Amino acid sequence: MSEPVPPEQAHRRAIFDPDEGQGAVSHPWWRHHVRVLYLEDEDLPAEVVLYILQREEPQAFQIQRTTSLAATVAALNQNAYDVVLIDLNLPDSEGWETFAAVHRAAPETAVVILTGDPDTEIAVRAVGEGAQDYLYKHELNVPGLLTRVLHYAVTRHHIDQALRAANRSLEQRNQELQRTMASLEQTRLALVESEKIKSMGQMAAGIAHEIKNPLAIIRMGLDYLSGAQPEKAPQAIARTLPEMVSALDRANTILSEMLDYAAPRALQVEAFPLNEVVREALVIMGTSLCTSGIEVLADLDEELPEIELDRQKMIQVMINLIGNASQAMPNGGLLRIRTRRTQFPVDSSDATSEGMPEIALLEVQDSGTGIREEDLEHVFDPFFTTRAGSGGTGLGLSVCKMILDLHGGRLTLQNHPDGGSVATIQFIL
């Protein structure tokens, strides 16, 4: 030792020797900043430790010594300490079991191992299991080392406790957040179900209204035919039957669109060029567009890759969008259809190019009068139509949007700055 043990042995022994009955002695004259429980069965090392702490920081530590594991556990059960300084090899315990027993008795108290054993395996293992530090007895001659180790051990332990408390708080908050998210999801599902019920009510009212007229036409036709004179029956049939067939067709169309909206069939997905969907729809609608005096301008990006889609469903969507555009131009006009690729949604005000996937766009633009602003937010509502007097059912765009949703795509409708309206389909590539 660089510092000899001073001669006043009796004084220190009176303070430091363990009490035979209690197994530990408290020292009230050490006014406490750091409460230390010191487990050491040999007197000489204990004398050295006491001398060092008294010499270097006489008012910093309040020491209580024990000489056995049993006495140490009893003291920990009765009192609170900031740090336990322990020797591992004792009369009633050796090595790892000494640390394990102390740590079990006071898991919230810092532990520092003071050992004379040169084998570091147990000490290192103890640090890994919760001890704050370990120190060799031959290192006690390093000035300030013991007091620094004790202070640091208490500080680190407090930090560890604060971190564990913070982690517990974060875990609790995370669990609360998960419960809140689950509650919000249940609320969302309830709102969806409520909206679905509301939509079903609207559909039922719309179906009753829409089918009532075709049924009335059929009923009037049957009444007319039943009252016609036999000799005039052929003429009556020739005049009335087409109207009845047309009424039946309209009722069938309404029911088909309603079924597509309420209970869509599963998609038959395959890789298919989006441009071919456009071309097939234009072939089907070609005669109607020509007779309506509508010029078609198709600007199709031939570099677009194939897209996973239901070909028939997407042709149905295109026919509907082309039909809507045609009806928006009753006196003829220009229909522009364009396909292209871009990196982010064209109507996203907060979109940025960073990290955004490429998407394929399909735009159907007419040169009509556009859509009233107050109607734009309702265009995808079931049975909402701006053509109530011209045969519109109000289900077409609802079905189109549903089909795009099933594809994981997107359908928007807005007015174009140059006039008319433009329907935009978006697919992530």
Does 176 map to a domain? no
Residue 158: the pLDDT is 81
- Is the domain of 274 the same as that of 420? yes
pLDDT at 164 exceeding the cut of 70? yes
Query: Cα-atom radius of gyration of the chain, to the nearest Å?
Result: 44
CATH (domain of 24)? 3.40.50.2300
Does 222 map to a domain? no
Q: Which residue has the tokens 């609802």?
A: 398
Residue 295: the pLDDT is 94
Structure tokens at 391: 């045969």
pLDDT digits (tens, 9 = 90+) for 265-288: 677 889 999 999 999 889 888 888
Task: Give the number of domains in the chain.
Answer: 2
* Residues in a beta bridge with 65: 25, 38
CATH (domain of 351)? 3.30.565.10
Expressed in percent and rounded to 5, the helix, strand and coil fractions of the chain are: 55, 20, 30
Query: What average pLDDT is seen over the chain?
Result: 78
Q: What is the 3-state secondary structure (H, E, C) of 16-82?
A: HCCCCCCCEEECCCCCCCEEEEEECCCHHHHHHHHHHHHHHCCCCEEEEEECCHHHHHHHHHHCCCC
Does 298 map to a domain? yes
Question: Which whole number is the average pLDDT over 220-241?
Answer: 75
Does 407 map to a domain? yes
Phi/psi of residue 36, nearest 5 degrees: -115, 125
Does 67 map to a domain? yes
Range of the domain at 291: 266-428
pTM above 0.75, yes or no: no
DSSP-assigned letter for residue 92: T
DSSP-assigned letter for residue 93: B
Alpha-carbon distance values, 250 to 181, 188, 215, 392 (Å): 46, 36, 10, 10
Does 231 map to a domain? no
Final residue in a domain of this structure, among 143, 177, 192: 143
Does 117 map to a domain? yes
Final residue in a domain of this structure, among 143, 167, 192: 143
Residue 9: which pLDDT band, with cuts at 50, 70 and 90? very low
Does 206 map to a domain? no
What stretch of H or E contains 331? none
pLDDT digits (tens, 9 = 90+) for 303-336: 999 999 998 889 888 988 998 899 889 899 999 9
Final residue in a domain of this structure, among 115, 143, 171: 143
- Is the domain of 421 the same as that of 286? yes
